[in-house]
């Protein structure tokens, strides 16, 4: 269960943008912001960290990246279809 608070202030137009983007993915503001913030935080950390892996661990690592990439492609296709239906 999530019980650690994260508070921030935003301009109304920033809040509205976040709400709109979240709703396009079927997420509420908190879920969307947490997901996006964590994705970006992971990217920043990974960009600054060097690590070495044996062959098996490297295969596991690349498999995780491929899954993430496939999920993003699926989300993009879903959004294209959804937006196409709204026109």
Question: Does one domain contain both 40 and 14?
Answer: yes
Compute φ and ψ for 40, nearest 5 degrees. -65, -40
- Say which residue, 4 or 68, is predicted with more confidence: 4
**Structural domain includes residue 77:** yes
Helices and strands per DSSP (H, E), number in the chain: 3, 0
How many domains does the chain contain in total? 2
Residue 44 and residue 55 in one domain: no
Q: What is the pLDDT of residue 85?
A: 54
Higher pLDDT, 83 or 4: 4
Whether 86 is covered by a domain: the verdict is yes
Residue 2 domain-assigned?
no
Assign 86 a pLDDT band (cuts: 50, 70, 90). Answer: very low
Q: How far is CA 75 from the centre of its chain?
A: 10
Which residue from 22, 24, 42 is spatially nearest to 32, judged by alpha carbons?
A: 22
The answer to whether residues 58 and 82 belong to one domain is yes
Q: Cα 52 to the chain's mean position, in Å?
A: 25
Per-residue model confidence as pLDDT tens digits over 15-74: 999 999 999 999 999 999 999 999 999 988 888 877 778 899 888 888 888 877 777 778
Nearest-angstrom CA–CA distance, 20 and 17: 5
Same domain, 84 and 56: yes
pTM, two decimals, is 0.55
Q: Print the domain residue range for 79.
A: 51-87
pLDDT recorded at residue 72: 77
pLDDT of residue 87: 41
- Asked if residue 1 is part of any domain, the answer here is no
């Amino acid at each position: 269960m999530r019980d650690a608070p994260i508070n921030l202030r935003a301009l109304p137009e920033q809040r509205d943008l976040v709400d709109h983007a979240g709703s396009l993915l079927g997420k509420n503001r908190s879920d969307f912001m947490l997901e996006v913030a964590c994705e970006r935080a992971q990217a920043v950390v990974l960009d600054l960290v060097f690590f070495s892996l044996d062959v098996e661990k490297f295969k596991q690592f690349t498999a995780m990246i491929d899954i993430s990439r496939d999920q993003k492609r699926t989300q993009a296709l879903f959004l294209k279809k959804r937006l196409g239906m709204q026109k």
